[in-house]
Every structure is written in structure tokens, then in C-alpha cells.
Amino acid sequence: MNRYLLLRYSLAACLVPSLSVLCVHTDAQPPTATLQGASTPSETTEIPTAQLLQPEELVQLLRSSREEKPLILQVGSHVLYAEAHISGSEYAGAGGQDTGLQALRDRVKGLERNRFLVIYCGCCAWNKCPNIRPAYRELQTLGFTHVRVLYLANNLGTDWVDQGYPVTKGR
């Protein structure tokens, strides 16, 4: 990936989620990233370590002929999905927004609750992501029992694309 595209992707990865969080929270609510000290369990839901999937593990799952193939859902910005996404993944709405969670509910409606799902965002650093935790929480609330979350410590560009893992590029 040339430096110009990497810079463009990195800037978009940082700016789009930040701006969308600011726009969504215009009614004086703190952005989701600041809710870590909140007392409501739904606001502080952390993803159990056992549910995290390292990028290398997902690549192995996708290459294996014996393993069940997961349905991979991107729950971040549509702009980033259009730029580049994990090959075979589907856009399911930004998990940090009500409209995104509705899109996620619509996508999984009718699926067996034990269907193997992998969700990812990759917009920014893991601990700042406004999308992944709400999407995970929503799937748990809907009763899905086989949900794994792709752990992208930095962002999709650094932790997936730059590693040479399967990617579909847009523009």
C-alpha cells in the first residue's frame, strides 16, 4: 500500500468515527468512549478475553477447510468499509449509532442464534473504538451465543491490510 493511501486511510480512520460520535451526541451526552466510569452495566460492558480473536486466528479460520466459516460483519464506518474491508465481510452498520445497531439487527434477523459470527471495526485504536462494544452488546442481547470479536489493536490498516491479510479494496 503506498504511503499516500496509507495516510489517507489512517486519517479517515481517525476522523470519521470522531466526527460521527460528536454528531450523535449533540444532546450533551458524553461519547461512549468516556463511559468507562459509568455505573450502568450496559454502558460498561467489556468484551471477555475469551471472545477476542487475533487477526492471525481469523486468517487461519478462513483458510481452513475443516472449520466452520464465520459470517464476518464490519460494524464501523461505511466510509472505511468502502475504502477497504476484510474479504468476504459484510457491512452491518456503525455500532456506535442507533441507525447502525438497527442495521445490525436487520442483518442478523432470521439467523440461528448459534451461528458463528465475527465482528470487527478497525476505525481506530481498540480502547477508543465507539462501535465494537455496542455491537457486541447488541448481539449478546439478541441471544447470539457464538460471537467472536476481531481484536485490532491499532486499526484495520495496520493490523490487517499492512500484514497482507485478505482484503477487498474499494476506491
pLDDT of amino acid 170: 81
- CATH code of the domain covering residue 69: 3.40.250.10
Determine contact, residues 99/93, Cβ cutoff 8 Å: yes
Q: What distance in Å separates the CA atoms of residue 77 and residue 43, rounded to the nearest whole number? A: 21
Read off the pLDDT band of 67 (50, 70, 90).
confident
Q: Which residues pair with 74 in a beta bridge?
A: 91, 120
Of all residues in the chain, the percent with pLDDT exceeding 90 is 69
Read off the pLDDT band of 97 (50, 70, 90).
very high
Determine contact, residues 163/55, Cβ cutoff 8 Å: yes
* Residue of 99, 104, 46 whose CA lies nearest to 74: 104
The total of structural domains in the chain comes to 1
Read off the pLDDT band of 171 (50, 70, 90).
low
Write out the residue range of the structural domain in which residue 70 sits: 3-169
Output DSSP code: residue 81: H
- Secondary structure (H, E, C), 20-62: HHHHHCCCCCCCHHHHHHCCCHHHCCCCCHHHEECHHHHHHHH
Per residue in 12-39, pLDDT (tens digit) is 444 444 444 333 333 333 333 333 333 3
Whether the predicted pLDDT of 41 surpasses 60: no
What is the torsional sign of CA 169, 9, 53, 36?
negative
Whether the predicted pLDDT of 6 surpasses 60: no
Q: What distance in Å separates the CA atoms of residue 104 and residue 34, rounded to the nearest whole number? A: 23
Lowest pLDDT segment from 6-10, 40-44, 115-119, 135-139:
40-44
